[in-house]
Amino acid sequence: MATEAFAKPVVPNGHDGYDDDDEDEMPLVFKRSSNNNNTSSSSNRPRPSNNAQKSSSIGSTKSPPPSRSPLTSPNRSASSGRSSLMKPSLPSSSSVQRSTVKSPPVGDGRSLVAKERNGLGKAPPVSKSDDEDSEDDKPLSARLKGDTKQASSSGRGSSQQPVQRSSVRPQGVNDISRKKDYDERVQTKTNVGGSSSSKPVNNDQKRPLVNNINRNGLKPKIEGNGSQAPAKRPLEKGNSSNQSSVKRPKLSEPARPVKTEQGSRNAATAPDSKGNNLEPLRANQATDKEDNSDGDDHVPIASRIRQDSSNKKSSSVKPNASMIASSSRTIAKKPNKWAKDSKYSKSTRSLPSGDGQKKWKTLEHNGVIFPPPYKRHGVKILYQGKPVDLTPEQEEVATMFAVMRETEYYNKQMFRDNFWNDWRKILGKNHVIKNLDDCDFSPIYEWYMQEKEIKKQMSAEEKRILKEEKLAQEEKYMWAVLDGVREKVGNFRVEPPGLFRGRGEHPKMGKLKKRIRPCDITINIGKEAPVPECPIPGERWKEVKHDNTVTWLAFWNDPINPKEFKYVFLAASSALKGQSDKEKYEKARKLKDRIGHIRAAYTKDFSNKDVTKRQIAVATYLIDKLALRAGNEKDDDEADTVGCCTLKVGNVDCIPPNKLKFDFLGKDSIQYVNTVEVEPPVYKAIGQFQAGKSKTDDLFDELDTSKLNAHLKELMPALTAKVFRTYNASITLDDMLSKETRDGDVPEKVVVYQQANKEVAIICNHQRTVSKSHGAQVEKLALKIEELREQIKELDIDLDRAKKGRTPLMGSDGKRKRNLTPEALEKKIMQTNAKIEKMERDMQTKEDMKTVALGTSKINYMDPRITVAWCKRHDVPIEKIFNKSLLAKFAWAMDVDPEFRF
């Protein structure tokens, strides 16, 4: 590839088509409409290799100047103790007890709030339509046995626990019961009949509403006591040892579109590499299912299991749930307007199919923006009590460390050691500072706090001006023009220097992330487009490429792990990302159609004589039932976490007769604790895999993600382990929404959605740290409730007196109260009682949700078409569910048919 000379940058066209901001503000309210979108499910095409055109670099890379990185704002403070979260386990007919914990668990078993909706319906007789169904049922049912008793025994008990106690996410009994209910619900659906995914299912009304355990307020019981409950990112290294060998990558960001002149030209349907016209992004076409072979497939695992075990009512397990909370970066800001702009909106463009072929024809952007250079403050640290002079570079790094004083990292030995190793290189051999422990960074910390305070005290006007200045500076970097369409760039800011904050017990925490300079950055841009001007005078890009088989605009090597890269991508709202997103969900929908076959296949292999096949079968079962991640190998210089394929013997305990207790640190060092009843052959196989091994040995020693995924691809093209997570999340949402939604006002419907969202979050083990103020908030609420109860007592007395024609007693504050009629007093009592009830509900919800993060599943796992269609069917404004960023991200899903079902 040709490398380009550096030319003057050309700013992509401006905001054409974006001036209609007002449109953004208009709420999108879906009414039942006659939209008929026939979604043809996109095919999963294999990705072509994409290295075809890598350009050579011209590069001029001069060695980077000594980094005197400025102190960028101190990054977030380390997360403080995470609380444990116990989660319920996934579906399947087995009873499950799962708990995930963050931070030191302090067991608490709270019950999930839930309302029973008994009487809503009984499940109609299920008529299995196809073989698949029956196949599914058999294996699952056979394997799973419900443990309802436990479930029923669980109570709510959420006593307010100290924040530290870390949540306990339901586990055990409660989970089981929840799952059971859930299964029942699902089953109902199943019974209804394997309608194809895209086909509307109108049986809702006929379907009985099964009680949702979750909603019944059952809180899973915490496994063991607090001490047992695992914590999220425990200080000690992973519970069981895990290690491995490989790993890599980095991140990206999203954006959103705008048009340019060129845009309109290219916006037309673009053929893919094979010359086929690509389907327009927008398509929401209700995808017609391609093969309906498995009528039952669309039923969540839980439900299927349930079906099997239907006879044994008590048995089944229930699914998990939960909510997510914050989420991820990448979202672009103005959403919907563009969706409406037919001329420029992405929806009108046809996009490449994301199959690894050419992703774009033309690409223009302005490169990236760098953090400002370090500004020296001159505050001295003390070494053995005496002020020490530091050079700007030394001071910058010292400041990075000083500002982390209130974080957990600050006192972690590994963090300190890594920091010291890097800092002392900058100090030099002969520096007076010889060790970190004799350094007192307080003066810098105090300076930092003062600066923070000053900033906080700025007037609104001053803040506004600063914000505008920043925006003006960044505006040109925020947009790219891809195939003539203006799209938002996700992460156009180069990461500032700082200290690496790995999660969990990351062996590199505390290392210095050096300042990234233009000579570290490779730019990717269209051949015809002007090369972005290097924003730092006298420096130049490392390389300029014109590779249209990839979607990144720029990348640099991760300073902490040079083998890895940091990419600059378009924002999530871009057409490119939208297309990819849609394909992801279509793939999951295909899995729905094949899941029956797949389950039958792995069930058959539970007892295969070939160990590898048996391990593949059991691993697939766990991924399917528990939504575990695949579990790639990891290097020693990464945190010690595992996924399914990398589970260690010590991560799984066999509890006779057929329960398995999982306890391991998963992605982001989030603890996964879950006890689940499995089918006897699975239980037996796990025992065999463990035999003769030590706790630190691989459970699946014949398996890795490559083998597993290769096997999955034999079952369904493009199927990989992670598709099961998407499938289970989406099918659960779809099922819960269809079964739980009742007539009512919008807020009531939103609650139903949140419950479903929560269920999905629990399935996916999406946790969050309990906020620092949680305990105080709960206490405050409890106090208010207590005060209201006192008021009621007084009112009762006053009412009694009023009925006898006597005046009220003096108030508790010593003041005389108004003389009210008995009717007025009764009304007041009623109102106060209602207030108490509401506050109690709020408190319970707060407690239940304190460790559940809803955002991640909403952003990444639940097909947005399910949500949009549900909003349309029930006249819920989509803004009640999706914020602006999500509206932009999911623009491609907005005109889905109201009858769309996953």
Residue from 46, 65, 687, 744 in contact with DNA (CB under 7 A) = 46
Q: Residues 455-465, buried b or exposed e (16+ Cβ, 10 A)?
A: eeeeeeeeeee
Stretch that binds DNA, among 12-20, 503-511, 599-607, 689-697 (CB under 7 A): 503-511
Label each residue of 591-604 as H, E or C: HHHHHHHHHHHHHH
Stretch that binds DNA, among 558-566, 787-795, 796-804, 816-824 (CB under 7 A): 558-566
344 is catalytic: no
Residue 547 sits in the site that holds DNA (CB under 7 A): yes
Question: Burial level of 656, CB count in 10 A (0-12/13-18/19+)?
Answer: exposed
Residue from 405, 766, 865, 872 in contact with DNA (CB under 7 A) = 766
Residue 34 sits in the site that holds DNA (CB under 7 A): no
Residues numbered 640 to 659 that lie near DNA (CB under 7 A) are 641, 643
Q: How far is the CB of 875 from DNA (least distance, A)?
A: 19
Dihedral angle, C-alpha 706, 858, 570, 877, nearest 10 °: 150
Between 180 and 648, CB nearer to DNA: 648
Residue from 463, 742, 806, 816 in contact with DNA (CB under 7 A) = 463
Task: List the catalytic residue out of 409, 477, 727, 861.
Answer: 861
Between 409 and 606, CB nearer to DNA: 409
Pairing mode, if any, of strands 479-482 and 485-488? antiparallel
Residue 504 sits in the site that holds DNA (CB under 7 A): yes
Residue from 328, 391, 791, 833 in contact with DNA (CB under 7 A) = 328
The amino acid that residue 531 corresponds to is V
Q: How far is the CB of 479 from DNA (least distance, A)?
A: 13
Through-space distance between the first and last CA atoms of the chain, rounded to whole angstroms: 43
Question: Burial level of 810, CB count in 10 A (0-12/13-18/19+)?
Answer: exposed
Residue 257 sits in the site that holds DNA (CB under 7 A): no
Residue 777 sits in the site that holds DNA (CB under 7 A): yes
Residue 289 sits in the site that holds DNA (CB under 7 A): no
Residue from 569, 672, 870, 892 in contact with DNA (CB under 7 A) = 569
Residues numbered 779 to 798 that lie near DNA (CB under 7 A) are 780
Residue 285 sits in the site that holds DNA (CB under 7 A): no
- Is the separation of the CB atoms in 627 and 588 below 8 Å? no
The sheet that has 363-365: what strands, in order across it? Answer: 257-259, 485-488, 479-482, 363-365
Between 288 and 702, CB nearer to DNA: 702
Between 111 and 632, CB nearer to DNA: 632
Counting residues that bind DNA (by CB under 7 A) gives 117
Q: How far is the CB of 516 from DNA (least distance, A)?
A: 10
Residues numbered 467 to 486 that lie near DNA (CB under 7 A) are 467
Between 67 and 580, CB nearer to DNA: 580
Spatial neighbors of 283 by CB under 8 A, at least 6 apart, are 37, 39, 40, 582, 892
**In sequence order, what DSSP letters do the residues of 284-325 get, joined into one string?**
--EEEPS----TTTTS-HHHHHHHHGGGSTTT--B-------
Stretch that binds DNA, among 266-274, 762-770, 788-796, 812-820 (CB under 7 A): 762-770
- Is the separation of the CB atoms in 877 and 29 below 8 Å? yes
Between 604 and 846, CB nearer to DNA: 846
Give the helix ranges, DSSP H, for 116-219. 131-143, 148-153, 172-193
Report the distance separating Cα 611 and Cα 703, nearest Å: 10
Residue from 284, 551, 651, 728 in contact with DNA (CB under 7 A) = 551
Q: How far is the CB of 894 from DNA (least distance, A)?
A: 16
Between 216 and 857, CB nearer to DNA: 857
Report the distance separating Cα 359 and Cα 364, nearest Å: 14
Between 210 and 553, CB nearer to DNA: 553
Residues numbered 180 to 209 that lie near DNA (CB under 7 A) are none
Residue 407 sits in the site that holds DNA (CB under 7 A): yes
Report the distance separating Cα 887 and Cα 591, nearest Å: 26
Residue from 154, 491, 658, 732 in contact with DNA (CB under 7 A) = 491
- Is the separation of the CB atoms in 551 and 569 below 8 Å? yes
Strand partners, 258: 486
Residue 447 sits in the site that holds DNA (CB under 7 A): no
Residue from 638, 698, 759, 863 in contact with DNA (CB under 7 A) = 638
Residue 238 sits in the site that holds DNA (CB under 7 A): no
Between 315 and 561, CB nearer to DNA: 561
- Is the separation of the CB atoms in 292 and 124 below 8 Å? no
Residue 330 sits in the site that holds DNA (CB under 7 A): yes
For residue 332, the tally of other CB atoms under 10 A from its CB is 27
Report the distance separating Cα 490 and Cα 493, nearest Å: 9
Residues numbered 423 to 442 that lie near DNA (CB under 7 A) are none
Between 74 and 280, CB nearer to DNA: 74
Residue from 257, 300, 484, 502 in contact with DNA (CB under 7 A) = 502
Residue 51 sits in the site that holds DNA (CB under 7 A): yes
Q: How far is the CB of 128 from DNA (least distance, A)?
A: 30
Q: How far is the CB of 748 from DNA (least distance, A)?
A: 16
Residue from 327, 728, 738, 844 in contact with DNA (CB under 7 A) = 327
Report the distance separating Cα 818 and Cα 194, nearest Å: 65
In angstroms, what CA-CA distances link 623 with 26, 239, 348, 617, 683? 42, 20, 37, 10, 15
Residue with tokens 């425990």: 234
Between 762 and 802, CB nearer to DNA: 762
Stretch that binds DNA, among 215-223, 421-429, 430-438, 495-503 (CB under 7 A): 495-503
User: What φ, ψ does residue 848 adopt, rounded to 5°?
Assistant: -65, -35
Q: Which of 38, 55, 29 is nearest to 531 (CA)?
A: 55
User: What φ, ψ does residue 629 adopt, rounded to 5°?
Assistant: -80, 165
In angstroms, what CA-CA distances link 869 with 213, 514, 527? 25, 47, 41
In angstroms, what CA-CA distances link 437 with 383, 384, 385, 508? 9, 9, 12, 19
Residue from 670, 756, 795, 894 in contact with DNA (CB under 7 A) = 670
Report the distance separating Cα 902 and Cα 734, nearest Å: 6
Residues numbered 716 to 755 that lie near DNA (CB under 7 A) are 718, 720-723, 725-726
Q: How many residues does the chain have?
A: 902
Residue 613 sits in the site that holds DNA (CB under 7 A): no
Stretch that binds DNA, among 131-139, 575-583, 813-821, 826-834 (CB under 7 A): 575-583
- Is the separation of the CB atoms in 84 and 230 below 8 Å? yes
Residue from 319, 496, 518, 898 in contact with DNA (CB under 7 A) = 496
Residue 765 sits in the site that holds DNA (CB under 7 A): yes
Residue with tokens 């496994």: 223
Residue 232 sits in the site that holds DNA (CB under 7 A): yes
Between 365 and 629, CB nearer to DNA: 629
Residue 129 sits in the site that holds DNA (CB under 7 A): no
Residues numbered 70 to 89 that lie near DNA (CB under 7 A) are 72-80, 82
Residues numbered 846 to 885 that lie near DNA (CB under 7 A) are 846, 853, 855-857, 860-861, 883-885
Q: Which of 535, 522, 518 is nearest to 476 (CA)?
A: 535
Residue from 147, 253, 393, 543 in contact with DNA (CB under 7 A) = 253
Residue from 2, 36, 47, 838 in contact with DNA (CB under 7 A) = 47
Annotated active-site positions, please? 861
